[in-house]
Amino acid sequence: MPRHEAPAHDRAWHLALDVSNGRHALSKLIPPALWLVDAALCGLIIWKVPYTEIDWVAYMEQVAQFVSGERDYTKMAGGSGPLVYPAAHVYTYTGLYYLTDRGKDILLAQQLFAALYMATLAVVMLCYWQAKVPPYIFPLLVLSKRLHSVFVLRCFNDCFAALFLWLAIFCFQRRYWTLGSLAYSWGLGVKMSLLLVLPAVGLVLFLGRGFAGSLRLAWLMAQVQLVIAVPFLAKNWRGYLGRAFELSRQFKFEWTVNWRMLGEELFLSKPFSLVLLASHVLVLLIFITTRWIQPADRPLSVMIPALLQGKSPFTQQEELRVSSRITPAYVMTTILSANVIGLLFARSLHYQFYAYLAWSTPYLLWKASPHPLLVFPLWLAQEWAWNVFPSTDVSSVVVVNVLLITVVLAYFGTARDGGGEGQRKAAEAKNK
């Protein structure tokens, strides 16, 4: 029976399916409609939910010392401890310091962070749309209670880092390689958490921009870090590097969201941290060699000799062909996979780290297995676990297992992504 002759309820059902799966003109209205609803929700949260002080006062105390002329990182501290973020954090919160009457106008700060949240959400939605994610996934981008809390009730610097991460993803999707590199480097200058996606960013630039082009962009990102750090490096370069990029920082067990079920003694032990580090490196290598390198149509082992000699493993024509395979979906999958892998093996996750995770999980789950019966329950379990405060053994088990499932699904669900047909043909020819 033709659809126009079907009963009214059948036509309504098919229309709903077409709209939710992006097959109808009305589908384009879903993201902006959700965005407007979320804008109203942010206003309602600020109006009705009491603000929670955690790090804002400490940020302002640290910035006040910078404004007063202090440039030695080892001497800059606030109520919650020493300054442990790179220079872009200081400059960003210096702007907020002046806008909010030296941090006293909390309501204005919340409004500014609501605007930051809405800007980030808009970029996230654009990235999802570029990657051809169907509209039925978009509601998951606006329903997170914890994410709203991180932005408009806590004013964490992770919110700025998340914005620049998503700006970088969007720029790479649109092949604005230089703008994307600048956005990523500034975000890294706000908080070193963005180091988690550096391997993926490097690979995206290498495949998308070519060998020489990616080296120039790497140098540009390094220059950004040097330029913003000059005042602090000139005063005490060891102090700046040691504080801003302190990789050996000891985390407090009381605040952990992910590994509470292991107990404090194991959580704080050095063998545990080494196991996490080794596991992180191993899983990254597995993804790089079997998934992310697929657009190159040749294994990494074949390219390494040329790279060690400082030469491109591709001819100019091959570079163009490989670059054409760096699609918006590939950029999203690669960078967000690296992000979730890093979070899975992180020594300790705090609640503000949800700024990096909340918008990553829906895409990766959909990409790996687009059926709502898998995506929605896993998202709901993750959201529940991140809203348990303080974390419990059960909530931490859920946090870690959803991360693990997401990584496993991302691996097996992207087996044929990235244009790896050449690799498969080469392997078949070798076996004959």
3-state secondary structure 265-303: HHHHCHHHHHHHHHHHHHHHHHHHHHHHCHHHCCCHHHH
pLDDT at 7: 63
Going by C-alpha positions, the residue among 191, 252, 260 that lies closest to residue 225 is 191
What is the pTM (predicted TM-score) of this model?
0.92
Q: For the chain, report the end-to-end CA distance as a whole number of angstroms.
A: 51
* Confidence (pLDDT) at 19: 72
Assigned domain for 357 exists: yes
160 lies in a domain? yes
Total Cβ atoms within 10 A of residue 270: 7
Number of H helices, E strands in the chain: 20, 2
Is residue 18 within 8 A of residue 24, CB to CB? The reply is yes
In-domain check, residue 430: no
Number of folded domains in the chain?
Answer: 1
pLDDT of the residue at 429: 37
What pLDDT is attached to residue 427?
37
Answer whether 135's CB lies under 8 Å from 31's CB: yes
The mean pLDDT values, 10 residues at a time, for the chain of 432 residues are: 56 67 78 97 96 94 96 89 93 97 96 98 98 94 96 96 98 98 98 96 96 96 96 93 77 86 91 95 96 91 87 90 95 97 95 96 90 89 96 96 96 70 39 36
Q: What pLDDT is recorded for position 206? A: 96
Domain hosting residue 198, numbered range: 29-246+254-420
φ, ψ for residue 166, nearest 5 deg: -70, -30
Q: Would you say residue 16 lies in a domain?
A: no
CB of 138 closer than 8 Å to CB of 100:
no
- What pLDDT score does 310 carry? 86
Classify residue 347: in a domain, yes or no. Answer: yes
In a domain, 9, yes or no: no
Q: Is residue 23 part of a domain?
A: no
In a domain, 339, yes or no: yes
